[in-house]
Amino acid sequence: MSRIIKKKFTWVLALIVLCATSVIDELIAVILLLEIDNGAGFWPSLLFAVTTAGALFSGPISSRLLDGRRELVSLFIYVLLAEAAVTFILAVTNLTSIPSVAVITSGIMGILGGVLWTVVLLFIAEKFEKSQLDTANKWTTTIRNLGFVAGPTLGGLLYVVGTHFVFWGATILLILSIVITKICLNPIYSSTEDESSAASSSRRSFFSTVRELFTLPGVAVRILPPMLTAFFGSIVNVGLVVYILTVRNEPPAIYGLVSASISIGLVLGPFAVGLLSKDRMQPGIGISGILCGIGIALLFQPGHILFTLLAGLLMGIGNGGQNTFMSILLMNALPKERRPALMPAFVFSIHCFVFLSYVAGFFVSVNNVVVIMILGAIVTITLGIFSYTRNPILSSSDQ
């Protein structure tokens, strides 16, 4: 019994560490944006593009780091150490007021955040039994999404205190996370049981691994619809700015409230959709897509602000549920011996769709924003229905 209690306690500590790192990632992103947002649109746009590019590069980098089968907890510590080094440099130099430095830093944090999330996904897939997988993944996704709410909120509140203090606080929190991980989590979750088998696997190019992901039996037809949903869900970020601030001529505070409602939906999504789908994987993906599409359509309708906030909440719930059940699908579908290579390929593919959505955002204007978003909502609902009708994919252990 004491061993079970100890394991549960360490799992709670792991979630606390994950929450702290997620909050820090979002907090730093907001601080960097506020530092360079001086009224000109070039630097903020470049910052978003470079951050997304960093997330794209995290795929090949994760694949290379995992190729030698480094122990997952140790790799997690190394990534936290790299983030702490970045925030420490920012704290002692105070260079983020220089736009180019802020953009470069944002790209580095994008790479490190992508690698960190890849390690977390792989960790869950390998360290938990199949019966525990859904619960572990649901809690992990929820805690990560909590960072999307708390990070920007803290960033806006703490920015007036001074970036110098924010970066020092982030550095200290990251160091504490490293200490907790090393002392409390490393002895419990470390293992080298698969090192020999992974080390003997032949090295492939990263893009051949991406191709392999989409040629696995039954995988492409099930992951492409939610990936396309991610495309339309991301382009909403661009459309909301145009619609709320220009078409409806609302103050920036209203835009902030709508964004917050979406973020809250992300946190509630894994549990809300889990109840609706009874934690079944394929219906969970389908219901999430349908809710997301309905939320998008309602977001771009005229009405009271409360109606818009509820629409944002609904869209966030759909996105949060989809993130959870997509991860569960991948953890069940990928062969265990190929997970270290294929999980980074999955993260890379998701970020490709997000990057393309930001490119498509350049074509969104006041004249077409509502039409584009309604069409996107229709496509998203259709993809959700398609996913709902698919049969569950067999886990790799069952094939």
CA gyration radius for the chain? 21
Q: Taking each helix axis from N to C terminus, what angle separates 206-215 and 339-360, rounded to the nearest 10 degrees? A: 90
Q: Which two tokens stand for residue 281?
A: 């994987």
Location of structure tokens 């059940």: 325
Domain coordinates in residue numbering, the chain: 1-191, 202-399
Interatomic CA distance for residues 231 and 368, integer angstroms = 18
Interatomic CA distance for residues 151 and 267, integer angstroms = 13
Which distant-in-sequence residues (6+ apart) come within 8 Å of 102 by Cβ?
32, 35, 36, 43, 47, 96
Interatomic CA distance for residues 310 and 306, integer angstroms = 6
Burial 316-354 (b: 16+ CB within 10 A, else e): bbbbbbbbbbbbbbbbbbbeeebbbbbbbbbbbbbbbbb
Which distant-in-sequence residues (6+ apart) come within 8 Å of 166 by Cβ?
27, 31, 155, 158, 159
Interatomic CA distance for residues 37 and 382, integer angstroms = 38
Q: Domain 1-191 falls in which CATH fold?
A: Growth Hormone; Chain: A; (1.20.1250)
User: How many CA atoms does the CB half-sphere of 265 hold within 13 Å?
Assistant: 25
Query: Does 1-191 match 202-399 in CATH topology?
Result: yes
CB 51 within 8 A of CB 106: yes
Interatomic CA distance for residues 174 and 193, integer angstroms = 29
DSSP single-letter state for residue 394: P
What is 202-399's CATH number, 3.20.20.80, 1.20.1250.20, 1.10.3720.10, 3.40.50.300?
1.20.1250.20
Q: Which of 251, 26, 45 is nearest to 145 (CA)?
A: 26
Spell out the per-residue pLDDT of the chain, length 399, in tens: 455 566 667 777 788 888 888 889 888 888 887 777 554 456 766 777 788 888 888 888 888 887 655 577 888 899 999 999 999 999 998 787 788 888 899 899 999 988 988 888 888 777 777 667 777 877 888 888 788 778 877 887 788 888 889 999 999 999 999 998 888 766 655 554 444 344 444 556 788 888 888 888 878 888 888 888 888 877 887 788 788 888 888 887 787 788 888 888 988 888 888 888 775 767 888 899 999 999 999 999 988 889 999 999 999 999 888 888 887 787 777 887 777 778 888 888 888 888 888 778 778 888 888 999 999 999 999 999 998 888 776 555 554
Q: Which helix (H) or strand (E) holds 359?
A: helix 339-360
Per-residue pLDDT tens digits for 30-58: 888 777 755 445 676 677 778 888 888 88
Q: What is the largest CA-CA distance in the chain?
A: 64
264 class by beta-carbon count within 10 Å (0-12 exposed, 13-18 middle, 19+ buried) = buried
